[in-house]
Amino acid sequence: MYQTCRLNKDLNVTYKSNISTYLNPNYIYLNGSLIDDLTQGSSVYKDSIVTKDPVCFSSVSGSIYAVKEKQIIIKNDFMENYEAPKRASKYAKYTDQIIFKLLQTYHFSNPQIIEELAKSPHTILINGIDDVPYVNTRTYLLNNLSEIILETCEILNTTIKPEEFILTLKNTDAETIAFYNDHVGSFPFIQYRYLNDEYPLGYKEILCNKLSLEEANTVLITIEELLEINEIIKRLRPLSEIYLSIIIPSGKSFILKTKLYTNLNDIITEFNLPKDQIYYLNNLLLKQTIDPFNYLIDNTTKALYILPPQEDKPLPCINCGICYTSCPFQINPLDPEEIKKCRRCGLCTYNCPAHISLGGDSRAQ
Ligand code: SF4
Ligand code: SF4
Top pLDDT among 70 and 204 is at 204
Residue 66: give its domain's CATH number. Answer: 3.10.20
Whether 161 and 116 share a structural domain:
yes
Instruction: Report the nearest-CA residue for atom 8 of ligand 1.
Output: 317
Q: Which residues contact 80 (CB under 8 A, 6 or more apart)?
A: 46, 60, 61
Our answer on whether the CB atom of 356 is closer than 6 Å to any ligand 1 atom is yes
The rounded radius of gyration (Å) of the Cα atoms in the chain is 21
Domain count within the chain: 3
Instruction: Report the nearest-CA residue for atom 6 of ligand 1.
Output: 323
Q: Which of 288, 326, 343, 351 to mutate to test the pocket of ligand 2 (most atoms within 8 A of CB)?
A: 343
Q: pLDDT, tens digit, for every residue of 126-151?
A: 999 999 999 999 999 999 999 999 99
Whether 294 and 200 share a structural domain:
no
Whether 27 and 47 share a structural domain:
yes
Whether 197 and 208 share a structural domain:
yes
Residue 299 lies in a domain: yes
Instruction: Report the nearest-CA residue for atom 4 of ligand 1.
Output: 320
Our answer on whether the CB atom of 354 is closer than 6 Å to any ligand 1 atom is yes
pLDDT band at 86 (very low <50, low <70, confident <90, very high): low
Distance 354 CA to ligand 1 centre (A): 6
SS3 346: coil
Smallest-distance ligand from the CA of 319:
1
Strands of 278-281's sheet in order across: 20-22, 254-259, 241-247, 303-307, 278-281, 289-290
Our answer on whether the CB atom of 216 is closer than 6 Å to any ligand 1 atom is no
pLDDT band at 297 (very low <50, low <70, confident <90, very high): very high
pLDDT band at 85 (very low <50, low <70, confident <90, very high): low
Instruction: Report the nearest-CA residue for atom 5 of ligand 2.
Output: 327
Ligand 1 atom nearest to CA at 324: 6
Q: pLDDT, tens digit, for every residue of 89-127?
A: 666 778 999 999 999 999 999 999 999 999 999 999 999
Q: What are phi and psi of 305, to 5 degrees?
A: -105, 130
In contact, 336 and 346? CB cutoff 8 Å = no
pLDDT at 312: 74
Ligand 2 atom nearest to CA at 347: 5
pLDDT at 90: 67
Our answer on whether the CB atom of 353 is closer than 6 Å to any ligand 1 atom is yes
Q: pLDDT, tens digit, for every residue of 212-271?
A: 999 999 999 999 999 999 999 988 999 999 999 999 988 789 999 999 999 999 999 999
Instruction: Report the nearest-CA residue for atom 2 of ligand 2.
Output: 342
In contact, 358 and 344? CB cutoff 8 Å = no
pLDDT at 105: 95
Q: pLDDT, tens digit, for every residue of 322-344?
A: 999 999 999 999 999 999 999 99
Average pLDDT score over the chain: 94
Rounded CA-CA distance 60/241 in Å is 10
pLDDT at 89: 62
Rounded CA-CA distance 267/258 in Å is 9
Residue 2 lies in a domain: no
Whether 328 and 351 share a structural domain:
yes
pLDDT at residue 9 tops 90: no
Q: Which amino acid is at 110?
A: N
Instruction: Report the nearest-CA residue for atom 7 of ligand 1.
Output: 317
Distance 2 CA to ligand 1 centre (A): 20
Whether 353 and 294 share a structural domain:
no
Q: What is 91-124 written as a DSSP string?
A: GGG--HHHHHHHHHHTT-S-HHHHHHHTT--SEE
Whether 70 and 45 share a structural domain:
yes
Rounded CA-CA distance 30/67 in Å is 10
Q: What is 286-331 written as a DSSP string?
A: GT-EE-GGG-B--TT--EEEEE-----PPPPP----HHHHT-TT--
Domain that holds residue 339: 322-364
**Mean pLDDT, residues 10-37:** 94
pLDDT at 318: 96
168-184 burial: b if 16+ Cβ within 10 Å, else e: bbbeebeebbeebeeee
In contact, 353 and 318? CB cutoff 8 Å = yes
Q: Which of 330, 345, 349, 351 to mutate to test the pocket of ligand 2 (most atoms within 8 A of CB)?
A: 345
Whether 169 and 271 share a structural domain:
no
pLDDT at residue 313 tops 90: no
Whether 99 and 225 share a structural domain:
yes
